[in-house]
A and B are shown apart, each in its own frame.
Chain A
Amino acid sequence: MSPRQKRRLAGVLVVLIGLSAASALALNAFRDNLMFFYSPTEVMEGKAPPDHLIRIGGLVADNSFREMGEDLTVRFVITDTAENVPVEYTGVLPDLFREGQGVVAHGRLGSDGLFRAERVLAKHDENYMAPEVAEALEAAGYTGHTGDGGDYDR
């Protein structure tokens, strides 16, 4: 090989090593940070792995909201109208959080069946519902209004 070819080869190798390092980095981070979504029915069927960061979604069940004391800890129930999952969360709830409203919670399912949420999201438009939540509700046979983006009623 001529010196020029050697240099080129070295250049190609450096780029290859860099790319593989980056891909390894990305894939590793990817595997660790995927969050699967489960509906309350799936949680109750035991499909959701315990102690993994997952997302669950549904409606906040009526009359299920309780404040647990001085430190902003609350408990409520997320339902898809067929099954219920009790949820515990510590912190300030989003503006649109209320009973009967669609929410998505990120957190871990404890072996005791209590879902400990790290984040709770409620969507910003009253007529709007996260697609996952809408589908989970439909799968559970809920026939109410699941939202269409809130266009003007024509």
Chain B
Amino acid sequence: MIGEIGQFALLLALLMALVQGTVPLIGAQRGIQSWVATAHTAVTGQFVFLAVSYVCLTWAFITHDFSVSYVASHSNTNLPLMYRISGVWGGHEGSLVLWGLMLAGWSLAVSRFSKGLPAVMAARTLAIMGLVSVGILSFTLFTSNPFEPLFPVPADGRDLNPLLQDPGLVLHPPMLYMGYVGLAVPFAIAMAGLIDGRLDAAWARWSRPWALTAWAFLGAGIALGSWWAYYTLGWGGWWFWDPVENASFMPFLAATALLHSLAATEKRGAFRSWTVLLAISAFSLSLLGTFLVRSGVLTSVHAFATDPDRGLYILLLLAVVVGGSFSLYAWRAPAVRSHARFDPVSREGSLLANNVLLTVALAAVLVGTLYPLFLDALGLGKISVGPPYFDAVFGPLMVPLVFLTGLGPLLRWKRMSATEISRRIWHTLVAALIVGAVLPLLLMGSTTVMTSLGIGMALWLAAASLRDLWSKLAHRRRPLAGLRKLPAAYYGMLTSHLGLAVLVFGITMVNTFESERDIRMAPGQTHEQGGYTLRFDGVRPVQGPNYDAQEALITVSRDGRQVTELRPQKRVYWVQREPMSNAAIRTRFSHDLMVALGNPMGGGTWSLRVYHNPFQAWLWFGSGLIVLGGFIAAADRRYRLLNVVAREGGTDPARESGASRPATAEGGPS
């Protein structure tokens, strides 16, 4: 029964999305006010019906309604409540309902926060989002119906994949989807701007908080996924350049470029058509990501249930979105070209270089991800592109990128003399490079060129960012009181840039100095690694809510004193019977110690894998700062107080002051 209600609500939501995607567009074109106004009503209706549908599916999970096929495939009477609620997005069909619900949620937010916007512009934006929703919801209903009935009703469900029974499932997919779907907003705004023929400062200002919020969610989703992979899925690795990881990383790179390009468009009217192109690309890449993950062309833990029809449908949707938006772009973009002039050494120049680097990095990831698929599709052999390729390309690209991240905010808009800026920064840069060369030697006893460069750049970025903050305060009589005067967007940028510095430091240290040992241990034996002594005290059986496990006890000591006990587990879930390792981690400021239980080797002896990862926690802390910065910037008052009509064609006070002072407090967050 609950299934039928859910399905019916889903169908109604699709009808609402159809209305939302067509009527306002026609109304805006023909100038029919009442048709334009339907956009907001349709958005609310679609959201309500999707929420009902979503609640029905969740209820079916909670009450073990195995007459719904999806529930029977992804749940079980022994499954803890937390995983029954999050199990809704533990498979393909439910993920799509969540996708749809989030898209409707974003639409609702756009509808509510569009008061200061011309009605036609808001209506077109919502209509484009409605069309995207039609694509997603029809895909859900016609190829991946989550409410498909199952008869006869089984006594019990097949259970959720054990790999997904982890707190990571509760957080990672929703955050990631919020980011993926959120990128539909800047995309829709760009489309509406193209139709309207106006991509001015007001347009960019309206787009920025949406792009920022979506970007921050996407970043949070990726970081949480990486963390999850680190502690459970992948035997201690935090990033594998797996095609599925790349699928989420590519829209993130595009969105990062978009944020920076939007900053220049808003402040200086520069890069207009490029900004639009990035908005299109970022959303297209999220759809491509969905296609890659869901079509089954990839071998991955993420490709749960695969079906060629679905892949074809998403490919079709992708073709319509990409084809449609690029055609519109080709048709309209020449009319909205910007004519802002600037010198190579200027804020715009650094943002342009940043965009070039991000785009090249994106292209490198795209080639590495898609090339094997093309070769396979053409029958030219099965290849895979390993992590060394991505490391070899990505690392060198990050060095100038991080350098520019530090430099950009110090530059003036439009023009700055190269001598002046070099005079200001050279001592900071040299100091950072020297400390970067020495610090790894002091901490770890060795270094390489790339390591020193990585640490040096991280230090440079942190120093340059803090110096910039100081230069904004120093000329005030009471510097600390000046802290309150700086806008949130500036603090957002500062937080994110400092987060990037921390992240780069962590990645460089982990990648250079991580150690991994596969060992065989009998009870009572000890092993030394990273300054720790690990004593294996045997394995005992334990029981969880829906699994049995072998749990090892490992006593860890340092300098002869016991510091902790680690208990890695090897679990076997009752229903699906597949073994799964749960590593045990000791996290410290300067390193992680991680132990994973391997296989029994007879006579109480086990194989174990031990990792010592210097500064691993800095990755999570840095990522957290980057994401936090995005949210802080999106909360800037400037975006809330906007009154587009008043600014249209008029002067923008921020823009004028920005051109005359060095590094005013408004470089967009990054």
Q: Does A100 have its Cβ within 8 Å of any Cβ on chain B?
A: no
Closest A residue to B161 by beta carbon equals A125
**Given A26-B364, A95-B580 in contact, is the A124-B163 Cβ separation under 8 Å?**
yes
Q: Give Cα A87–Cα B303 distance, bound, in whole angstroms.
A: 28
Find out whether the CB atom of A35 lies under 8 angstroms from the CB atom of B364: no
Closest B residue to A106 by beta carbon equals B386
Q: Does B392 have its Cβ within 8 Å of any Cβ on chain A?
A: yes
* A window 19-39: CB within 8 A of B: 19, 22, 25-26, 28-30, 32-37
Q: Give Cα A25–Cα B391 distance, bound, in whole angstroms.
A: 11
Find out whether the CB atom of A11 lies under 8 angstroms from the CB atom of B344: yes
Find out whether the CB atom of B367 lies under 8 angstroms from the CB atom of A92: no
Give which listed residue, A7, A35, A93, A151, contacts B73 with CB less than 8 A.
A151
Find out whether the CB atom of A15 lies under 8 angstroms from the CB atom of B356: yes
**Given A36-B382, A37-B381, A152-B72 in contact, is the A72-B519 Cβ separation under 8 Å?**
yes
Q: Does B305 have its Cβ within 8 Å of any Cβ on chain A?
A: yes
Neighbouring A residues of B382 by C-beta, 8 Å:
36-37, 55, 132
Give which listed residue, B368, B518, B579, contacts A72 with CB less than 8 A.
B518
Q: Does A154 have its Cβ within 8 Å of any Cβ on chain B?
A: yes
Find out whether the CB atom of B389 lies under 8 angstroms from the CB atom of A29: yes
Neighbouring A residues of B581 by C-beta, 8 Å:
95
As a 0/1 sequence over residues 361 to 385 of chain B, the CB contacts with chain A under 8 angstroms (1 = contact) are 0011001100100000000011111
As a 0/1 sequence over residues 338 to 369 of chain B, the CB contacts with chain A under 8 angstroms (1 = contact) are 00000110000100000010001001100110
Q: Does B44 have its Cβ within 8 Å of any Cβ on chain A?
A: no
Give which listed residue, B69, B161, B306, B576, contacts A152 with CB less than 8 A.
B69
As a 0/1 sequence over residues 199 to 235 of chain B, the CB contacts with chain A under 8 angstroms (1 = contact) are 0000000000000000000000000000000000001
Find out whether the CB atom of A26 lies under 8 angstroms from the CB atom of B306: no
Find out whether the CB atom of B360 lies under 8 angstroms from the CB atom of A93: no
Interface stretch, picked from B124-132, B314-322, B596-604, is B596-604
Q: Does A46 have its Cβ within 8 Å of any Cβ on chain B?
A: no
* A window 104-144: CB within 8 A of B: 106, 123-126, 130-132
Find out whether the CB atom of B356 lies under 8 angstroms from the CB atom of A18: yes
Find out whether the CB atom of A34 lies under 8 angstroms from the CB atom of B383: yes
Total chain B interface residues with beta-carbon distance under 8 A: 55
Q: Give Cα A63–Cα B364 distance, bound, in whole angstroms.
A: 44
Q: Does A70 have its Cβ within 8 Å of any Cβ on chain B?
A: yes
**Given A22-B360, A92-B607 in contact, is the A35-B392 Cβ separation under 8 Å?**
no
Give which listed residue, B307, B360, B518, B578, contacts A126 with CB less than 8 A.
B578
Q: Give Cα A94–Cα B570 distance, bound, in whole angstroms.
A: 11
Q: Give Cα A53–Cα B388 distance, bound, in whole angstroms.
A: 12
Find out whether the CB atom of A92 lies under 8 angstroms from the CB atom of B396: no
Give which listed residue, A19, A22, A33, contacts B386 with CB less than 8 A.
A33
Q: Does A96 have its Cβ within 8 Å of any Cβ on chain B?
A: yes
Q: Interface centre among A22, A106, A132, by most B CB within 10 Å?
A: A22
Give which listed residue, B235, B304, B386, contacts A35 with CB less than 8 A.
B386
Q: Give Cα A95–Cα B573 distance, bound, in whole angstroms.
A: 13
Neighbouring B residues of A131 by C-beta, 8 Å:
296, 299
Question: What distance in Å separates the Cβ of A104 from its nearest Cβ neighbour in chain B?
Answer: 8
Find out whether the CB atom of A33 lies under 8 angstroms from the CB atom of B303: no
Q: Does B609 have its Cβ within 8 Å of any Cβ on chain A?
A: yes
Q: Does A90 have its Cβ within 8 Å of any Cβ on chain B?
A: yes
**Given A29-B388, A92-B607 in contact, is the A151-B305 Cβ separation under 8 Å?**
yes
Closest A residue to B69 by beta carbon equals A152
Q: Give Cα A105–Cα B360 distance, bound, in whole angstroms.
A: 31
Find out whether the CB atom of A25 lies under 8 angstroms from the CB atom of B150: no
Question: What distance in Å separates the Cβ of B511 from its nearest Cβ neighbour in chain A?
Answer: 16
Neighbouring A residues of B518 by C-beta, 8 Å:
72, 90-92
**Given A7-B344, A33-B392, A96-B578 in contact, is the A150-B305 Cβ separation under 8 Å?**
yes
Find out whether the CB atom of B607 lies under 8 angstroms from the CB atom of A19: no
Give which listed residue, A29, A95, A148, contacts B579 with CB less than 8 A.
A95
Q: Does A49 have its Cβ within 8 Å of any Cβ on chain B?
A: no
As a 0/1 sequence over residues 44 to 58 of chain A, the CB contacts with chain B under 8 angstroms (1 = contact) are 000000000101000
Show 30 A/B contacts (Cβ-Cβ < 8 Å), sorted by A.
A18-B360, A22-B393, A25-B396, A26-B364, A29-B389, A32-B392, A33-B388, A34-B385, A37-B381, A55-B384, A67-B601, A70-B520, A72-B519, A90-B518, A92-B609, A106-B386, A124-B161, A125-B161, A125-B578, A131-B296, A131-B299, A132-B382, A148-B306, A149-B305, A150-B304, A151-B73, A152-B69, A152-B72, A152-B73, A152-B158
